[in-house]
A = this chain, B = another copy of it.
């Protein structure tokens, strides 16, 4: 079995090109970057030489001189239990895909930083011009790291207790859409399963839920779950909820990994969805769609969200003035079988 061997490609540098074209390296640089005018004749000689020799600028050297890397990173401080999950897809990857496409428009590449290990470590020693950060925590360590290093940062979802450019996801509206949908369908007694970490999304959902519960005269049941083992913990919490009190007529469970767990608990208890209990979640990912029945969720327009975030980051990197708050597109409801209204449940 033959081994392939690595070619040790005696690198061709800008001085090789300069020699071949009979000019100085500075002129070659100017011809390439277009920062200074070079004569048409010399430019074409240079371009010929470049083609001839197959010259490719050394990105590291360029980056060292200019202080730019033409790369941005995307981070999530969500534990892998949520961010990854069954097929490692989800929120982070969906945003990343769109961000990568948008970044490429300004000749920037996107570095994917998986949500593991020491985040401040992950920020060090990666050459990036800026960072996108998903759903920051209060005192988010990644945000600490990027901001203290002076790296332009845009968070997706507002940060808590500090200033940072962010795309302001309208969590209040998300909660409103889901809660009124459940109520409109007849739900009168439904708990909220939510992450216990201090994130804007969790906080806003709790707030909206509490408000509606109050207006409805419903005893609020807020089950706060550790996101690290989202699915298992949610399953246990729902099983416990069902076992101890009256069976709820619906469950609001924004985080999709927890929704999977909740569905599991309902199945185990022999409860039918949506006939006995109706379920709604927030993120319309692979989990929501592959449940049986499929879960009602929101179209968060993540593609657009990622796009505006990336564009804002781009401008920030260029040193342009950017409003700290960037509006996000409005989410819309995707009603699916899991929350279909049940006849006879509709009166208050």
A contacts with B: majority SS:
loop
Contact present for B104 and A117 (CB under 8 Å): yes
Q: Can you identify 14 A-B contacts, CB atoms within 8 angstroms?
A: A3-B321, A3-B322, A6-B152, A9-B150, A59-B69, A60-B67, A62-B125, A63-B127, A87-B94, A89-B89, A97-B112, A104-B116, A286-B286, A290-B294
B109, B149, B289, B324: the one contacting A4 at CB < 8 Å is B324
Chain B contacts for A323, CB-based, 8 A: 1, 3
A48 to B67, CA, bound (A): 27
Q: Which 10 A-B pairs have the closest CB atoms?
A: A9-B150, A289-B290, A60-B63, A59-B127, A88-B97, A60-B64, A7-B150, A100-B114, A93-B93, A101-B114
B62, B71, B92: the one contacting A111 at CB < 8 Å is B71
Closest to A71 in B: B111
A244 interfacial contact with B, CB 8 Å:
no
Q: A109-B112, A125-B56, A290-B294 are in contact. Are A316 and B6 (CB under 8 A)?
A: yes
Chain B contacts for A84, CB-based, 8 A: 97, 101
A161 interfacial contact with B, CB 8 Å:
no
Contact present for A60 and B69 (CB under 8 Å): yes
Closest to A164 in B: B4
B1, B110, B289: the one contacting A324 at CB < 8 Å is B1
Interface string of A136-149 (1 = CB under 8 A from B): 00000000000011
Q: A88-B97, A96-B93 are in contact. Are A165 and B4 (CB under 8 A)?
A: yes
Contact present for A96 and B69 (CB under 8 Å): no
Chain B contacts for A112, CB-based, 8 A: 96-97, 100, 109-112
Closest to A306 in B: B88
Contact present for A303 and B71 (CB under 8 Å): no
A268 interfacial contact with B, CB 8 Å:
no
Q: How far is the CB of A213 from chain B (nearest CB, A)?
A: 32
Interface string of A278-305 (1 = CB under 8 A from B): 0000000110011000100000000100
Q: How far is the CB of A314 from chain B (nearest CB, A)?
A: 13
Q: How far is the CB of A117 from chain B (nearest CB, A)?
A: 7
B4, B9, B89, B125: the one contacting A94 at CB < 8 Å is B89
Which of A7, A89, A124 counts the most B-chain CB atoms under 10 A from its CB?
A: A89
Contact present for A127 and B89 (CB under 8 Å): no
